[in-house]
Amino acid sequence: MPINPAIAGYVEEMRAIRRDLHAHPEIAFEEERTAGIVADKLAEWGIAVDRGLAVTGVVGTLTVGTGTRSVALRADMDALPMPEKNAFGHASRRAGRMHACGHDGHTAMLLGAARYLAATRDFDGTVHFIFQPAEEGRGGGRVMVEEGLFRRFPADAVYGLHNMPGLAVDRIAVSAGPQLASSDSWEVVFRGVGTHGAKPHLGRDPIVAAGQFLTAIQAIVARSVDPLDAAVVSACSLFGGDPEAWSVIPDEVTVRGTARAYRPAVRDHLEAAIGRIAAGVATGLDVTAEYRFIRRNPPVVNDPAATERARRAAQAVVGADGVIGDFPPSTAGDDFAFLSQAVPGAYVWLGNGPAEDGRLHHNSLYDFNDEALVTGASFWAALVEQELAR
């Protein structure tokens, strides 16, 4: 089975859904309209629907035969709080909201597969179609798991898929091991004593502390992480003082940033190292440092057996030459990690065609490539028919 011909017959409907969702983007935990469309479609095709997990999450369940095996497939539904610069007909109609990560495409593809599987029923067991809210930094997947996703909808394996611009639409990347990094936030607040900029000796300067701290944290990855391990420590926000106050040393300066790693031990190390440097710099300069490290997503690490099954399904759709087995991991994060920590899983990358003019994820000119809809939905269908083979 190369591209599934029955699913190719649903391309117009998938495209229409995808473009409608693109025009009406909704951000984290506000996906009311999107969830309503998803739930209505699933019900229309005879799939049992459960709503309300993680506020706007939707789970469709389809059981065929008497088989006891069960698989879960995850799509994310949320958009980003950013303006869209595209001018085409399906561009965002909501100011400051944009489907710039292709979750509109993910939702449409999983719906296409659900429609096909409900119509053909050529498997034996249960499939759960998970439509999660708030993937973009708000942990909708984590909330679904915490609210009992796999207690209510038990699964032997869970699979996730994300589009990848720059990879041809007839390519699917499936690799074992780390796919996405842990994605954590950190904050350091340096507090001193504000004073006149002309008389710094009368205060204790948190600006100088922040400056030394920013330089010192560059050594964490360079000098204390094994060169064969990947890690990122980035300061992304710095604020202190008043832009109008050119001669006032402020009381405090706040630095915020992100930390990424693929292994739990490296993640732990980054958390300790950033805090140690903040404390050391503060002590040396007689200010204080208040440190917070906020764990958001663990790394997404593919289970070897689930990866092998995903690879076989991908091969059935795009052929052996279309499957990329050594795709490099991304330093982005995905809260699919909480699902695949609970149940063995695999996360694959679906080609989304050329990324012209920098139209990558989170770019204001990005648009999911509809040429990938049939490939992605065919992959989901092949995976279910293979995992739950009669």
Give residues in contact with Zn ion (CB under 5 A): 101
Q: Is the CB of 141 or the CB of 192 nearer to Zn ion?
A: 141
CA-based nearest residue to 163, from 107, 106, 99: 106
Q: CB of residue 347 vs Zn ion: minimum separation in angstroms?
A: 11
Q: Which residue, 297 or 375, is less far from Zn ion as judged by CB?
A: 297
Residue 190, both tokens: 């340096």
Q: How far is the CB of 331 from Zn ion (least distance, A)?
A: 13
If the CB atoms of residues 101 and 167 are measured against Zn ion, the closer one turns out to be 101
Tell the smallest beta-carbon distance from residue 362 to Zn ion (Å): 6
Q: Minimal distance in Å, beta carbon 91 to Zn ion?
A: 18
Q: 187 near 339, Cβ under 8 Å?
A: no
* Minimum CB–partner distance for residue 106 and Zn ion (Å): 8
- Considering the complex, state which of residue 300 and residue 306 has its C-beta at the smaller distance from Zn ion: 300
Minimal distance in Å, beta carbon 27 to Zn ion?
11
Of the pair 4, 182, the CB lying nearest Zn ion is at 182
* Smaller CB separation from Zn ion, 99 or 263: 99
Tell me whether strands 252-261 and 195-196 are parallel, antiparallel or unpaired: unpaired
Contacts 24+ apart (CB under 8 A), 45-50: 45/114, 45/115, 45/118, 45/119, 46/118, 47/114, 47/118, 47/129, 50/152, 50/153
Q: Nearer Cβ to Zn ion, position 172 or 210?
A: 172
Here the tokens at position 314 are 């991908």
What count of other Cβ atoms lies within 10 Å of the Cβ of residue 93? 11
Query: Which amino acid appears at position 39 of this protein?
Result: A
Q: Which of 217, 347, 334, 221 is nearest to 279 (CA)?
A: 217
Shortest Å distance, C-beta 335 to Zn ion: 10
Least gap, CB of 100 to Zn ion (angstroms): 7
Q: 188, exposed or middle or buried, with CB in 10 Å at 0-12, 13-18, 19+?
A: buried
Q: For 279-328, what is the HEC assignment?
A: HHHHHHHCCEEEEEEEEEECCEEECHHHHHHHHHHHHHHHHHHHEECCCC
Pick the closer one to Zn ion by CB: 78 or 387.
Answer: 78
| Nearest to Zn ion of 17, 388 (CB atom) | 17
Nearest-approach distance from CB 137 to Zn ion, in angstroms? 8
Q: Which is nearer to Zn ion, 54 or 101 (CB)?
A: 101
